[in-house]
Chains A and B, each alone.
Chain A
Amino acid sequence: MSNLIDDDPRIIEFDVRTDEMLVNMGPQHPSTHGVLRLVLRTDGEIVSETEPHIGYLHRCAEKIGENVTPRQWIPYTDRLDYLAAMNMNLGWALTVEKLMRHGVGEKARHLRVLIAELNRIASHLVGMGAYGLDLGTFSPFLYAFREREKILDLFEEACGARLTYSYLTVGGATADLPPGWLQKCEAFLDQFEPIIKEYHALLTTNAIFVKRTAGVGVLSREMAIDYGCSGPVLRGSGVDQDMRRDGESLYTGMYDGYTFEVAVQKDGRYPRDHTYPSVPKEAVLGDCWHRFFVRMLEVVQSMDLVRQSIDRYAACREPLGEPLKLAEKLPVGDAYLETEAPKGQMGFYIVGNGTPIPWRVRARSSSFSNLSVTHELCRGCLIADVPAIVGSLDIVMGEIDR
């Protein structure tokens, strides 16, 4: 048997005699998107093993959830994925409404689609900008943040906050949109439409960007599902799954009447790729480039959704409806609901025991599972690939550590 191993060319590796080095990337590191510590076992530049250490931002939000009423826990959901706080609020609000079997009016439904998709655009813009930073180019980051500022201004007008909104709450939203907001939102969309091409020119079709991302960190379909990845990471590997279409009926009900295509490569083609650059030949399905490209497509998809929701929201005449009373008693039982947050499927689980305060609150984070793939993807890559791969997973530490 031993000589068999000796002859197998894949086994033998001729290399200058070197010994391996353990290197810490993080927790204070410019490219780890927050306080993530990656222990790399490197042999020269080749990374043979990566081990993520998390928990630096752990605030045990779930324990607090067992001491406050659901509406009081909304601000804690803001701080889970602080780049997409609206989607977090929405996820928690829907879960509580599912437990209490409390429906929401048409106007509130359309408002929620409008705000959630707008926040998805803002989150993907940060993802795209930060990814440019990971690969060494600074300018796309500023272009992305310039656009994101405009969205934050819109949110500030709607709910007064720019990052942690606590706006979408159980039973609708804390307040209705101010007059004239819809026109401002439409104006933003109109001027944002042509700018998308700039981002494609700056990054997606940039030769060096393609060289740094195509074929790097290939996540096969089976491994993505096995590791519980979700969102753009899953769709980047060609799995046609989007909770807005495949999720719980309560959540997909919110998107009834909206037409959108899931941004995933089906039999070699992305939906509507006539208006986007074609896939470069080096790109393998499931690599960093595809994950990035899915996010860029989702930005346009969300813009369409926002336009549709503006029209529907404007058509509703009746008032928004009152959010839940603070001391409302929770029925006995439990409820779990997964929503499509920008980073992936964000699940909330609540156990009620008849008192207004839930017995157990659980937040299933999408980045938590997405990050767990890192040690598979970063095996045998170069040091410069580690930030590229971790950046393509678009993780947020607040959501992972809870």
Chain B
Amino acid sequence: MTGMLDMDISSMMHAIVPALATTALPALPMAGINWHSVLFLLFAGLACGFAVGVVAADNVVRMALYLVFSLGATAGLFFLAGAEFLGAMQLMIYVGGTLVLLVFGVMLTAQAPFVSIKPSSSDRTLAAVAGASLLALLLTAAFSVDAWMAPGAGVVPAPTATPLGMALIGVRVDTPPSGSPSGGRVGYMLPFEIVSVHLLVVLVGAAYLARAKRRRTPRAIDAVASAMPVEPAVVATAAVTAPGRTTGGAKSALVGGGR
């Protein structure tokens, strides 16, 4: 979904960069360049640039490739924000899993080797309008939140994987313990499993819908038929074994003699 938005936030970045300068990196004695914002600009630019690329490209496979780079850059953003687990998760699930299947699908269905999708001009305007309106909505929402306007409130660079693991089994770290003796609240395990089972059902459904009732090719039919009864016993008994080894060579049937 992120790819489809004609979201060109390069103009927006200049406005809010100082606000987002979260200092995940410890404040280093570096005058001048704030590395974090430089990298942030880089990754954000990449993500949006390739998102525009996805929309603008007309070659399906190129579209898929730009989507890969766009989501890869988003993973970079997560790493920058200190959410390493989320970044790795994005890389593995989104880029390594979903997009591999997407490129797979694109490759297999592209009838002409490079099928290209040329949207008509009316579609383009419609898309531009929808995109622009959504962008406007997002911008107003982003600017209305004061907390975001303030300079970054130093995120504690706590390791990110273990709290998530603990949260699964109920030890919630996001909110301070609410005084209840057990301290633990219900973990995320159950909803997590439900969602994965749901996804499985969706996949099976998709495979079922895509099936085609097809007659086997006639040759395949007799291949199946002939393949079935071929047990070694059947083949062996059919072998006519001539008694012993006759030293004399074959005679022509016409001349006579023989065995």
Contact = CB atoms under 8 A, between A and B. Distances in A.
B115 to A, nearest CB: 15
Interface string A297-317: 000000000000000000000
B216 interface: yes
Contact of A48 (B219, B227, B235, B242): B219
B215 A240 contact: no
Interface residues of A, number: 40
Nearest to A248: B249
Contact of B213 (A14, A49, A250): A14
Contacts of A268: 236
Nearest to B207: A16
B257 to A, nearest CB: 10
Contact of A240 (B230, B235, B241, B247): B241
A252 B211 contact: no
Contact of B250 (A12, A246, A253): A246
A148 to B, nearest CB: 30
Contacts of A245: 245-247
B254 interface: no
Interface in B25-58: none
A379 B213 CA distance: 21
Given A10-B224, A15-B214, A17-B210, A285 B232 contact: yes
B191 interface: no
B190 interface: no
Contact of B235 (A49, A238, A247, A380): A238
Q: Chain B's interface: helix, strand, loop or mixed, by majority?
A: mixed
B250 A238 contact: no
A187 interface: no
B211 A16 contact: yes
A15 B212 contact: yes
Given A247-B250, A248-B250, A266-B241, A220 B225 contact: no
Interface string B125-139: 000000000000000
B241 to A, nearest CB: 5
Given A17-B210, A221-B238, A267-B236, A10 B219 contact: no
A24 to B, nearest CB: 17
Nearest to B239: A238
B11 interface: no
A262 B242 CA distance: 12
A16 B212 contact: yes
Contacts of B248: 249, 252
A285 B223 contact: no
A175 B212 CA distance: 70
Given A15-B212, A268-B236, A240 B242 contact: yes
Interface of A: 5, 10-17, 48-49, 218, 220-222, 237-240, 245-253, 256, 261-262, 265-268, 284-286, 379-380
Per CB-CB distance, the 9 closest pairs between chain A and chain B, nearest first, are A249-B249, A252-B249, A17-B212, A238-B239, A13-B216, A380-B223, A10-B224, A14-B211, A285-B235
Interface of B: 207, 210-217, 219-221, 223-225, 227, 230, 232, 235-236, 238-239, 241-242, 245-251
5 contacts: A15-B211, A16-B212, A49-B219, A245-B247, A265-B236
